[in-house]
Copies of this chain bind each other. A is one copy, B any other.
């Protein structure tokens, strides 16, 4: 079965779910253009999630994807939190903020029975997970809706694990990919593989379709992924300059600068490794810092700094998510990017 048959799309192109960077408008545009639009749900409140899914149902009759995180929520770790706040304290002082003030960052809730209750009525055609899969009973429930299930692998071992767990296709997320790495069996960043090596080896290891992700920014990239045996691609950064993206002007400017090519995988912004453009916080304390609290707790203490710096027009404390191939099509909307990726002139 081809990926298009599996997903019931015209094109083998999945728009990567990018939490905090896009919502229903981008998903609708991509799905209507023949790709698979994705709604990142991890940072949405239940009400917002329902409203966004309703918007998608109203905006397209094509298949779409709902994306959820599957992390375990970490126990409180006051010592690490203190170390983190101590590390950030000089910045608080620099911006005239109170280092002792409590702070909360963007919430990131893992998929749960409560969320399943919410989305079940919408019968999402495709559901994708990041950081592994939910517990077997929850996964079975999603599959009982008839949803196609996808998840990301960053190693051959993770791909084999996902296949055994029953996913319909696996996203081989290479080192180039922007945003959070989906790693869930392995926490060794040093051995994470580039897209070229990972995709080919995952294709050889599993029987289900493989979706290539990481560094794919244009149609030649899609063709190369197909040559490696991928059934299709998932592209994220390629869409970040679209009008449908909800990122800040600061993030847009960073993506458009030559320095967008200087990205790295950092744990500073959330506690989990994620790829973003090198900025002041990374340069001074990263890319990987053991003081950063476990995912998703690191973001809370950063939130006031991020807001203060952004108010001055600076992204020094903002996660400037971007893959190793910055977006190539400024000015194109999400439908046009989808067509460009597919080679439709």
Chain A residues with CB under 8 Å of chain B are 155-156, 174-176, 188, 190-191, 193-198, 200-201, 214-218, 220-221, 223-229, 261-265, 278, 286-287, 323-325
Q: Are B221 and A287 in contact, CB atoms less than 8 angstroms apart?
A: no
Q: Are B191 and A278 in contact, CB atoms less than 8 angstroms apart?
A: yes
Bound form: Cα–Cα A287–B261 in Å: 24
Q: Are A224 and B196 in contact, CB atoms less than 8 angstroms apart?
A: yes
Tell me which residues across on chain B come within 8 A of A217, comparing CB atoms.
Answer: 197, 200
Could you say which of B174, B176, B218, B227 contacts A220, with CB atoms under 8 Å apart? B227
Known: A194-B194, A194-B196. 17 other contacts (CB 8 A): A155-B261, A174-B194, A176-B194, A188-B264, A190-B286, A194-B324, A195-B197, A197-B215, A197-B217, A200-B220, A200-B221, A200-B224, A200-B325, A220-B227, A220-B229, A221-B228, A226-B227
CB distance from A123 to the nearest CB of B (A): 35
Tell me which residues across on chain B come within 8 A of A191, comparing CB atoms.
Answer: 261-264, 278
Q: Are A197 and B265 in contact, CB atoms less than 8 angstroms apart?
A: no
What are 9 A-B contacts defined by CB distance under 8 Å?
A: A174-B196, A188-B262, A188-B264, A190-B278, A193-B324, A220-B227, A223-B227, A224-B227, A226-B227
Could you say which of B194, B218, B264 contacts A200, with CB atoms under 8 Å apart? B218
- Whether A193 contacts B220 in the complex (CB less than 8 A), given A201-B325, A261-B201, A325-B201, comes out as no
Tell me which residues across on chain B come within 8 A of A198, comparing CB atoms.
Answer: 324
Q: Are B194 and A175 in contact, CB atoms less than 8 angstroms apart?
A: yes
Copies in the complex: 2
- Whether A220 contacts B215 in the complex (CB less than 8 A), given A191-B278, A325-B201, comes out as no
Bound form: Cα–Cα A263–B323 in Å: 22
Which residue from chain B places its CB closest to the CB of A174 in the assembled complex? Answer: B194
Tell me which residues across on chain B come within 8 A of A265, comparing CB atoms.
Answer: 190
Tell me which residues across on chain B come within 8 A of A195, comparing CB atoms.
Answer: 194-197
CB distance from A319 to the nearest CB of B (A): 16
Q: Are B223 and A196 in contact, CB atoms less than 8 angstroms apart?
A: no
Which residue from chain B places its CB closest to the CB of A229 in the assembled complex? Answer: B220
Tell me which residues across on chain B come within 8 A of A197, comparing CB atoms.
Answer: 176, 195, 214-215, 217, 323-325
- Whether A221 contacts B196 in the complex (CB less than 8 A), given A156-B261, A261-B155, comes out as yes
Tell me which residues across on chain B come within 8 A of A200, comparing CB atoms.
Answer: 215, 217-218, 220-221, 224, 325
Which residue from chain B places its CB closest to the CB of A325 in the assembled complex? Answer: B197
CB distance from A189 to the nearest CB of B (A): 9
Tell me which residues across on chain B come within 8 A of A264, comparing CB atoms.
Answer: 188, 190-191
CB distance from A231 to the nearest CB of B (A): 14
Which residue from chain B places its CB closest to the CB of A261 in the assembled complex? Answer: B156
Tell me which residues across on chain B come within 8 A of A218, comparing CB atoms.
Answer: 200
Could you say which of B156, B214, B224 contacts A228, with CB atoms under 8 Å apart? B224
Tell me which residues across on chain B come within 8 A of A229, comparing CB atoms.
Answer: 220
Which residue from chain B places its CB closest to the CB of A264 in the assembled complex? Answer: B190
